[in-house]
Chains A and B, each alone.
Chain A
């Protein structure tokens, strides 16, 4: 478990005080995959680096597995760090050492006996699927392979927490999803708490249980991935969500709609879970004297639950449209009127 209490970090840059973290209160539960998303400079990097003391906060508390890092000695913090693995954007492997030696490094530092190191490293290389690369050097590996080695190294001391600092940001989409699969497997098989910081919403959607949106050193939104994706509350969160779930009316269609003067009203209908399986639109068309024109639609799966998003145009008499809306409001969907030019 990781807990931040009123965490603040102020940098002194050229005589100017820059607040990277501006009072963060956040709890990451044991065994969950938690994502922190934000634009560069939002403070997410400072936040994750406070967990393993690569950065020291100016004030506030960081509590890791019950240990308050702010009161521990340097030696005690080094002990706590053995329980926290970290994976980096640029892998940070030792180029002068073999894959085997890289993975063995945390164990060598912890003075684990040689035989045990050998056993553990082979086990880890097998887990990440790179047993055959043990004697290669990092510069002989692809980016995805390097990150697998980085992950194996981070897991060497059997930590209870894994920190991922933009772990997939330097990788292509296909490699990214294979690394995310690996992280999921780690979380499932070893029940390791994973804290991920990223600027890619796709990463959050893919593997996180909960997500926090950070902006200007503050958590501006927090919740389950499903809730944040299906009903983002802040502008920033909405922007991030729309970066992976396109829910805008396409320009070409918008133009046609705008040119079509007349009695037209446009609605966004969100289907969640089972309601996504209902023939709602055909029911509406049969029961009421209206025409329904689908402008846009998609269904995304969030944490295993389908989430549908439809933008429709209702044509017909005002009274019929209102009756149709009454009918919809009784179903398990949310409906919201939108202007053609708005989202």
Chain B
């Protein structure tokens, strides 16, 4: 095998860092966008079609660019923010541009599942739009939101592995450099194995958490 265990652990830590930071920033970006996508739509709480159409359009554009191209295309932005376009920190930028709009869509889906009757009851009580969003809409969707974030996190694990292709570091980088380009099957098996365990763990955790919130 061309790599030792220290290298694998280092790559694992890089992957976790990439996923964690990009998840954090994508959530910060995607959560408000997802909420806006719901409440500004026709007939909803704060109906505002221009805002809805602009957000909807921008999200579609980002979602239609393949991640590998997105990574390269936004290199100038990455340089502007991080100062470099290579390395784990630099990989976070395209990951956020990838996962932010994705999370916005997932959140939109979850929030749309909330029974409109509950929101009507909130309006009948005289709740303000902010109260309706934070005391009714989000709590009612929480269980579904947890599953949405689970999906997004797993998506980020996959995307972060791809970021390895442009020198992002992490398990994906290891798999491509040693496993693929230098035909080291062992490295390939180990990295993919670790990724499988990560995904299984995340999904199980998400399911348990979601179920606990649903309280059934």
Chain A interface (Cβ < 8 Å from any Cβ of B) = 52, 54, 77-82, 84, 86, 88, 90-97, 105-106, 108-110, 137, 139, 153, 157, 163
CB–CB A108/B142 < 8 A: no
CB–CB A96/B139 < 8 A: yes
Query: Closest 5 A-B residue pairs measured CB to CB?
Result: A81-B126, A92-B117, A92-B121, A78-B126, A86-B124
With A92-B115, A109-B125, A157-B125 given, name 18 new contacts (CB 8 A). Answer: A54-B124, A78-B126, A78-B127, A79-B126, A81-B123, A81-B126, A82-B125, A88-B117, A92-B117, A92-B118, A92-B120, A96-B143, A96-B214, A105-B122, A105-B125, A108-B135, A109-B131, A109-B135
B140 within 8 A of A: yes
- How far in angstroms is the closest Cβ of chain B from A195? 13
CA distance A79 to B127 in the complex (A): 10
B53-96, CB under 8 A of A: which get 1 and which 0? 00000000000000000000000000000000000000000000
CB–CB A78/B135 < 8 A: no
- How far in angstroms is the closest Cβ of chain B from A342? 44
CB–CB A94/B126 < 8 A: no
CB–CB A95/B126 < 8 A: no
Q: Closest residue to B141 on the A side, CB-wise?
A: A96
Known: A88-B120, A109-B131. A94 touches B139 (CB 8 A): yes
Q: Number of residue pairs across A and B with beta carbons under 8 Å?
A: 62
- How far in angstroms is the closest Cβ of chain B from A211? 23
- How far in angstroms is the closest Cβ of chain A from B46? 11
CA distance A106 to B136 in the complex (A): 12
Query: Which interface residue of B124, B214, B215 has the most chain A CB atoms within 10 A?
Result: B124
Residues of A within 8 A of B216 (CB): 139
CA distance A91 to B131 in the complex (A): 20
- How far in angstroms is the closest Cβ of chain A from B111? 13
B181 within 8 A of A: no
Known: A105-B135, A137-B215. A94 touches B140 (CB 8 A): yes
- How far in angstroms is the closest Cβ of chain A from B102? 25
